[in-house]
Structure 1
Amino acid sequence: MNMSAPRANRHLGQASTGPRTGAGPKARAGALLLAAATLTAGAAACSSEKTKGGISPAVVSAAAEASRRAASAAAEASELGGPQVSAAASDAAALFSQAAAVASASAASATAALQSRAAAFESSVSAQVSKSRQQANAALAGVTGSGNALGDVTLTGIPTAASDGFPAVVLTITNSTSAKANYAAQVDFLDSSGASVDSVVVGTEDVAPGETRTVLAHGAKRVSAATAKVARAQRY
């Protein structure tokens, strides 16, 4: 594996100097991760609360669990590119609102429907992400070196404080060709010694000529500090 990609190497939280990367994508992705982390923590806290004002702790717990699942799925969906992210964010926001309404009203009759909806949302997102990762991994399977699209990809780091300790970056992908294309990219997260602590493959499809997409890539292990690097990027 060719690990030389200096222009795509970023410390988490360090803004990219590349011309195609702005604060907008970084802020949106960071905000989504932070919201997911906050809601997950809030769900755990709510589930242990005592009955207050006649609200059933069982209902509060059920609503909190639905919020946690929605938050988790929203964070996972942020790995996807294109309209899928917006759709998932809207669905998650609707679930958060429904969970809050159910909890505040102690609507036990609505908890089953809420939990079913949250589970279906989580399952749908997981399926989308799994499919996207499988396609991206397949595209990179036969790639030697750094691939044919390293120049189309730049990174913006997200501070680990905004991602609950998980390493995360925003990939800005711009199709520099005259034809629609799919992209697959492998992001490696390295510790201070340069050793890999985590790696993730993400992809996005049907990127039009000249179109720019932002895709969130995040590791599965909490780290105190890391550097992100695009190890391979393939246009296909």
Structure 2
Amino acid sequence: MKHRLLAVLLLTLGCLTLAILFNAAPAVGSANITSFDGVDPPHAVDIAGKTIPESSATQPDKPIILSKDSNDPKWGELKPEAAFDHSKHNTNVNHTLDGKTLTACVYCHHTDQPSASGGQAYLKRFERKEVLTAAQLEGSKEPVKGCRACHFQEATEETADFPPKSVTYPKEMKKPPSGKLTNDNAYHTRCISCHEVAMTRDPKLKAPQGCADCHVKK
């Protein structure tokens, strides 16, 4: 009888332990889980070989080589000469849409604001109480997530939330639905559309637009 009671007690304790562990762990795709895409191997390093972290409260000080873990059958990581220069893109007016106005942080880091900016009602996820700026980052020390926290690579297993589903834009934007916003789609939509506008403004700019302009061919 004693052995039976002991067995029942151990079984009960085991079930309780599993229940506690299950409830404590964040569900895949929940707001609490951090990125698991582009981490091992890292999806980006700077030109000195330093891994770009999943999130950081410090702006990168060297150009970044993206797509280190590319699963594309034809195109690999960025060429060194096409490395993304974060500093120039937010401090140099030549790297802007109109050649006059510095690009706002939330142009790319669109979740780092409390609500959608004007004309961007299609944005749904907001994770910052104040609009991200260089000054806000310096004062708050609140880390900024990398793009791959949400925009998974095509080969990565999807979750309920990530990569984001297709976006339907307002009619006045005259843009087709985005399609599933994997890292390829999100990066290319944002980068190439900006480069096209910049090149229209100033054809002398060397703003890459094609695959071979940026990526190493496998």
TM norm structure 1: 0.24
Which protein has greater RCO, CA pairs closer than 8 Å, 6+ apart?
A: 1
More helix by share: 1
Greater share of strand: 1
TM-score, length-scaled by structure 2: 0.25
Larger Rg: 2
